[in-house]
Amino acid sequence: MTNDALAQVAVTRETPVRSRPGTVARKVWQLGLHAGLRALPWLIVLLLWYLLPATGLVNSALVPTPWQVLVKFYEQLTTNRLWLDMYMSLQRVTLGLACGIILAVPIGFLLGWYRPARMLFDPLVNFFRSLPPIALIPLVIVYFGIDELAKVVMLFYAAFFSGVIVMYEGIVQTNPLFIRVARTLGATDEEIFRRIIVPLALPHVLTALRVALGVSWATLVASELIAAQRGLGAVIQNASNYFQIDTIYAGIICIGLLALLMDRCLRVIAARLLQWQERIVP
**Tens-place pLDDT, residues 230-250:** 889 889 888 888 888 989 999
If asked whether residues 97 and 198 sit together in one domain, one would say yes
Whether pTM exceeds 0.85: no
The kind and range of the H/E element at 18 are none
pLDDT tens, position by position, 52-67: 877 777 777 788 888 8
Residue where one domain finishes, among candidates 40, 60, 80: 60
If asked whether residues 181 and 137 sit together in one domain, one would say yes
If asked whether residues 69 and 36 sit together in one domain, one would say no
Q: What is the pLDDT of residue 22?
A: 64
Contacts of 141 (CB under 8 A, 6+ apart): 150, 226
Tally of CB atoms within 10 A around 76: 21
Q: What is the pLDDT of residue 279?
A: 58
Q: Cα-flanking dihedrals φ and ψ of residue 223, to 5°?
A: -70, -35
Cα–Cα distance for residue pair 119/103, rounded to 1 Å: 19
Q: What is the CA radius of gyration of the chain?
A: 26
If asked whether residues 27 and 127 sit together in one domain, one would say no
pLDDT band at 91; cut points 50, 70, 90: very high
Supply the range of the domain harboring residue 23.
18-60
Check if the beta carbon of residue 69 is closer than 8 Å to that of residue 246: yes
Per the structure, the count of domains in the chain is 2
Q: Is 282 within the bounds of a domain? A: no
If asked whether residues 50 and 76 sit together in one domain, one would say no
Cα–Cα distance for residue pair 54/169, rounded to 1 Å: 47
If asked whether residues 114 and 149 sit together in one domain, one would say yes
If asked whether residues 22 and 109 sit together in one domain, one would say no
Cα–Cα distance for residue pair 267/251, rounded to 1 Å: 24
